[in-house]
Amino acid sequence: MTQYVTHGLLRAADRGRDAGEEGRCVLHLDMDAYFASVEQRDVPLYRGRPLVVCHTSSDFCTHGVVATASYEARCWGVKAGMSVWEARSRCPHACFVHADIPKYLDNARRIRRLCERLSHRVEVFSIDEVFVDLTPLLRPCPPGEERWREALRVGRELKGEIRRRLGLTASVGIGPNKLVAKMASEFQKPDGLTLVTPEQLPDILAPLPVDRLVGVGERMRRHLRAMGVETVGDLARTPVELLEWKFGVMGRLLWEAAHGRDGSPVRAGGEEQEVKSFGHSLSLRGGTRDLEYLENTLLGLCDAVTRRMRREGYLGRTVALRLRVGYALGYARARSLDEYTDLTSPVYAAARDLLRREASSGLWTEPVTTVGVSVSQLRRREEGRQVTIWDIMDNREERLTAALDALRDRYGEGVVTRASLLGDFALSGMNLAR
């Protein structure tokens, strides 16, 4: 049964505090335990049982990372981001399955289409989260109680459609902006429907722990705690000048968020969104200290990263190597290239150098269990890159890369691969360059 909480629905006056947000109404849709819910829908054997969906290259999910845990598995302390090894120790009787990303993507497309029936301003925030700007839809309703009531009706109807057509449940939050809507959807899960009006913001936000704010992670929480800021109310009472001095632009954004203010628009599909980096990582069964194996794996990851960059039309300049040693020590090292690129060779050369340096650093007291690479400091390809004399003299890699991309576009990602990658990596079952 749908549970919902209305805050201030019956109050007479209800106007946004800030002129820029007046009358805005944003809906945040968050699918409940999405990957696990899809699997439980498709396989009745998994319903009502602990189910763990894993990102893994092993055939039997013996290692890797938990992508999602069903609510039944969460009761045992299993959660996303946890190692499969730890999840198995917490819940050995759970069912462990591979994440099937194409399946979740296709279902996400259907969910997005249902949202687009409500408004043309639909922003896909992640594979299981969508923002919908309901403001145009609700404009005929007078601001205030009636508009919020209609927004609730729309949210309820959307949840119903998703349940009927896809057999899945979602939690919906509604508020005057994206920040509040997203926080609202977290108040009641699963299958929740929560409205937070502008009048309710101070009462609702103030007692929340500061890390409930979007954008406040563990590191930021520690910094704020050192300043005596424990709750969102503490943050709101902190002078904005102090926050700006301490955290720069982020400080003002935090202060605005503590007051429930967020002027960011719901970006409709096709609008430019800022991409900050492209990356891939892989968990390694049992871990390894074999440098040749790690370099091979790194080569495949660099191939996948640059393939996605070329498909999206980006060049990048900073290469970061990410490693996990054992199960506790995770860290990264980065290097900037001389030129922007979208080719594998320069990215791999930089990443491999970083890897070799780390291999001789003495930090690897245990085997390496995860290796990853990312490219940041991006620019759009149409902005161009500086062509050097070497590009003109020898553009074989560019021509070969273009030919390989054309083959993969036509026949699929697995149609051609490097000979050095035939083996564990190619058999991992992970189609990285989706």
Partner 1 sequence: MVTLVEEPVDVAAVFRGGRLRPTAFLWRGRRYRVRRVLGTYRDLKGRYLELYYSVMSDTPEVYELRFSTDGMRWSLVRVHSEG
Q: Residue 6 in contact with residue 199, Cβ under 8 Å? A: no
Q: How far is the CB of 35 from partner 1 (least distance, A)?
A: 13
Q: Looking at the annotation, which residues are catalytic?
A: 129
Does position 43 interact with partner 1 (CB under 8 A)? The reply is: yes
**DSSP annotation string for 320-365:** EEEEEETTTEEEEEEEEEEEEE--HHHHHHHHHHHHHHHHTTT--S
Does position 42 interact with partner 1 (CB under 8 A)? The reply is: yes
Place of tokens 């030129």: 339
Stretch of residues binding partner 1 (CB under 8 A), selected from 84-92, 102-110, 261-269, 309-317 = 102-110
Stretch of residues binding partner 1 (CB under 8 A), selected from 231-239, 241-249, 319-327, 410-418 = 410-418
Select from 245, 327, 331, 411 the one that contacts partner 1 (CB under 8 A).
411
Closest CB to partner 1 among residues 24, 98: 98
Closest CB to partner 1 among residues 105, 402: 105
Select from 52, 97, 232, 321 the one that contacts partner 1 (CB under 8 A).
97
- How far is it, in rounded angstroms, from Cα 407 to Cα 390? 26
Q: Residue 282 in contact with residue 370, Cβ under 8 Å? A: yes
Positions 164 through 183 that interact with partner 1 (CB under 8 A):
167
Closest CB to partner 1 among residues 38, 69: 38
- How far is it, in rounded angstroms, from Cα 258 to Cα 202? 9
CB neighbours of 172 closer than 8 A, spacing ≥ 6?
A: 27, 28, 29, 30, 155, 156, 158, 159, 185, 192, 193, 194
Stretch of residues binding partner 1 (CB under 8 A), selected from 67-75, 104-112, 189-197, 230-238 = 104-112
Does position 285 interact with partner 1 (CB under 8 A)? The reply is: no
| CA within 13 Å, CB half, 136 | 10
Q: Residue 157 has which token pair? A: 């109807």
- How far is it, in rounded angstroms, from Cα 388 to Cα 145? 63
Select from 246, 259, 333, 408 the one that contacts partner 1 (CB under 8 A).
408
- How far is it, in rounded angstroms, from Cα 24 to Cα 14? 12
Q: How far is the CB of 42 from partner 1 (least distance, A)?
A: 4
Binding site for partner 1 (CB under 8 A): 38, 41-46, 59, 97-98, 102-103, 105-107, 167, 408-413, 415
